[in-house]
A = this chain, B = another copy of it.
Amino acid sequence: MSEKVTALDLPMVDPLPDDTQAYFDLCDEKLGMVPNVLKAYAFNIEKLDSFSALYNELMLAPSGLTKLEREMIAVVVSSVNHCWYCLVAHGAAVRELSNDAKLGEAMVMNWRGIELSDRHRAMLGFAEKLTETPGKMDEPDRQALRDAGFSDRDIWDIANVAGFFNMTNRVAAATDMQPNDAYHSQAR
- Contact status of A163 and B168, CB under 8 A, knowing A46-B57, A109-B87, A136-B112: yes
| Chain A 7-29 near chain B by CB (<8 Å), digits 1 or 0 | 11110000000000000000000
User: Is the contact region of chain A dominated by helix, strand, or loop, or is it mixed?
Assistant: helix
Residues of chain B within 8 A (CB-CB) of A81 are: 134-135
**Is A117's CB within 8 Å of the partner chain B?**
no
Which residue from B57, B83, B164, B188 sits with its C-beta under 8 Å from A185?
A: B188
Closest 4 CB pairs of A and B: A84-B113, A82-B135, A159-B174, A167-B167
**A residues 133-149 touching B (CB-CB < 8 Å):** 134-139, 141-142
Residues of B within 8 A of A114 (CB): 84
The interface bits of chain A over 121-158 (1 if a CB of B lies within 8 angstroms of the residue's CB, else 0) are 00000100011001111110110000000001101101
Per-residue CB proximity of A36-60 to B under 8 Å, as 1/0?
0000000100110111011011000
> How many residues belonging to A are interface residues under a CB distance threshold of 8 Å?
69
Does chain B have a CB within 8 A of A106? yes
Number of copies of chain A assembled together: 6
Say yes or no: B112 contacts A174, CB within 8 Å.
no
Q: A82-B109, A82-B135, A83-B110 are in contact. Are A173 and B130 (CB under 8 A)?
A: yes
- What is the chain B residue whose CB lies nearest that of A157? B47
Please name 12 further chain A to chain B contacts, defined as beta carbons within 8 Å, in addition to the given A47-B61, A108-B109, A163-B169, sorted by A numbering. Answer: A7-B142, A9-B152, A50-B50, A53-B53, A81-B134, A83-B135, A105-B184, A108-B108, A142-B174, A159-B170, A163-B166, A163-B174
- A167 pairs with B163, CB closer than 8 A: yes
